[in-house]
Amino acid sequence: IGSLRACLAAFSRHWEFSRMRGRLLTGLGVCARAWQHSHVIGGLRACVAAFSRD
């Protein structure tokens, strides 16, 4: 969790933090739902779709 926070802190120096945080949380939420309801390949496709939307 510490390394994840460090990652987010580093990204926030280069991009608008609120926008990126919203996009990241949305993508992670889509990933989590996809993995609960389908197999790994479907989850990966959902992740790619979520992050390539913007």
5: tokens are: 């926070």
User: Over 70: is that where the pLDDT of 19 sits?
Assistant: yes
Say if residues 29 and 37 touch (Cβ distance below 8 Å).
no
Which one-letter DSSP state was computed for residue 53?
-
Checking if the pLDDT of 26 tops 80, the result is: yes
Quote the pTM value. 0.34
DSSP assignment letter at 15:
S
Amino acid at 27: G
pLDDT at residue 23, rounded to an integer: 82
